[in-house]
Amino acid sequence: MNKLPSKREQDSVAALVHQTGPSKDAVCWLKGSTLDVFLSPGRLVRVGETHPGEARDGVIARLHRAEGSYEIEALDPATVLVNRKATTTQLLKHGDMIEFGDAGPLSRFRLYHRDKPVRKSIGDILSDGFVYLRVSRRPLIQRLGWAFGGLVRRLMRETTLLFRLGVIVAISALVVLTYQQNRLNVLLQQRIERDATRLDSVSRALSRARKEALTPNDLKALRRDIGNRFSSYADRLKALEHRSEATARVVTESLPAVVFLQGAYGFREISSGRMLRNVVDEEGRPLNAPLGQPLLSLEGNGPVAERPFIGTGFVAGEKRVLITNRHVALPWENDASVEALAGQGLKPEMIKFIFYVPGSPEAVDVELFRASKNADLAALRFKNEDGPKNSLTLAAEPPAPGDEIIVMGYPTGLRSMLAQSGDAFIEELQTSGDTEFWSVAARLAQKRLIAPLASRGIVGQATPSAIVYDAETTHGGSGGPVLNIDGEVVAVNAAILPEYGGSNLGVPVSKVRLLLRGLGRLPSKSDN
């Protein structure tokens, strides 16, 4: 008597889902207690009921209903594999992969509950793909191709429309997010590069300032050259005094009114008030960027990043206003990095501005009074003291071409004064090892070694806007007085024109008068 199916068997439905071969993607529902599995020469799998005593060609395996599933019986164990293992008989479980024949095809065994709809979940589809990769005996490249192609095809055909729309929306959102992220990355990179370029420009400026500062090697070079290049200014002064008694008198009388200007400025963030600083290590030593420039940051823990400068000034007018060039009083106007840093919310700020009077050991603080808007001129005032007692007289008339003039100032700044200081002073600096920008000037002042140099020349051209002459000067001499043979100021030394045979440019004295009159430091009748 036939055994009645159990409740578990009645509640479950089995199927073979063909993964490869001619029957690929086809589903063969299993019905009956005993079934034969046929494999045709063309690798077509077919399942049919078993008829006892009847010879049937092509039968490769037999399925027997058992325990709510099916037990597979291989008629030839070498040609039936379950999960890549050859088998004689084996109770099949949900998800088992069966390979019929030496070259397949592959079929997936599945069990479904009668009360639940038969649906393929995403997990099932993915699982089929992974199992195929693991079980198939094809070469790896072919397995990957088949698995991927089948995965895409089944996702497009066997999933719901809602799922497919969801995938499309998700992919679209991912594309948009990826584009936005890439765009943000590009903008961020551009900003980082801009900021790095701006800070790099400041670092380069500070690096140039470092190069201008004195080093022990510079002192050695100065000692070697003390009687040559820089001392030639002193030699010229002596020759000038010997050649002309009147010129010597002008130089001697004007010297106490010609001062050495020394200053430094930095950059402050407008929003937070923080200064741009050097980054230092744990021992307080400044750190450098890969190219050797100072490493700067608003969060820096070192001293404020200073951009030092030098120049010349002279006292003029009855109330003794200090006159110099606008580009000396506002040095950041010629700093190429200022405009770039302004875009980062930084503004230049004077940190320290002092001057030394020849023969005086003390520095005097000074500040900007007013800068001319149409000429390279500026007026400075003394912050805490009256300043020098001597002042220069302004000429009533401009010079004429061919007139002799004398330019006084501090060309090359500290270097020219060191060249005149003598070997003993330089040796003292070398011994101390202190060649810092401010310290060297203070030492020179203590030794009464700060004094301007003078050079004589001829006026080549005189116009209402400029005086051109050939007296020698260089960096550091800006803002110095240009005197006539009577010791009166006819111009303010402003620029060097090397392309015109070493000619120099001065701002006419009439411009100085206009500036002083605007300050109320000259009566209007004095403005001729």
Residue-wise pLDDT for 60-97, tens only, equals 888 999 888 899 988 887 788 888 888 889 999 888 88
Picking from 35, 36, 15, 38, the residue whose alpha carbon sits closest to that of residue 26 is 15
Top-level CATH class of 7-118?
mainly beta
Comparing 115-129, 265-279, 364-378, the range with the smallest average pLDDT is: 115-129
User: Which pLDDT does position 445 carry in this prediction?
Assistant: 93
Instruction: Tell me the backbone φ, ψ of residue 163, rounded to 5 degrees.
Output: -65, -45
pLDDT tens digits along 208-265: 555 555 666 766 666 666 556 545 555 665 555 555 577 888 898 999 999 999 999 9
CA gap 256, 387 in Å, rounded: 11
| Residues 111-118, mean pLDDT to the nearest whole number | 60
Predicted structure pTM score: 0.58
Comparing 53-57, 103-107, 342-346, 470-474, the range with the smallest average pLDDT is: 53-57
CA distances from 400 to 327, 394, 466, 468 (A): 26, 16, 12, 10
At 527, the pLDDT band (50, 70, 90 cuts) reads very low
With a cut of 80, say whether residue 15 has pLDDT above it. Answer: yes
pLDDT tens digits along 275-309: 999 888 888 888 887 777 788 888 877 899 899 99
Average pLDDT, the chain: 80
Residue that wins the pLDDT comparison between 485 and 20 = 485
Residue that wins the pLDDT comparison between 493 and 19 = 493
Show the CA angle centred on residue 450, arms to residues 445 and 456, nearest 5°: 175
Who's near 480: CB < 8 A, 6+ residues apart?
Answer: 258, 312, 313, 314, 407, 408, 409, 410, 452, 473, 492, 493
Composition of the chain by helix, strand, coil, percent to 5: 35, 30, 35
Comparing 33-42, 283-292, 388-397, the range with the smallest average pLDDT is: 283-292
User: Which pLDDT does position 380 carry in this prediction?
Assistant: 94
Q: What is the DSSP letter of 102?
A: B
Q: For residue 82, count other CB atoms closer than 10 A to its CB.
A: 19
- 497-515 burial: b if 16+ Cβ within 10 Å, else e: eeeeeebbbbbbbbbbbbb
| Residues 133-141, mean pLDDT to the nearest whole number | 67
Residue that wins the pLDDT comparison between 489 and 194 = 489
| Residues 466-489, mean pLDDT to the nearest whole number | 90
With a cut of 70, say whether residue 316 has pLDDT above it. Answer: yes
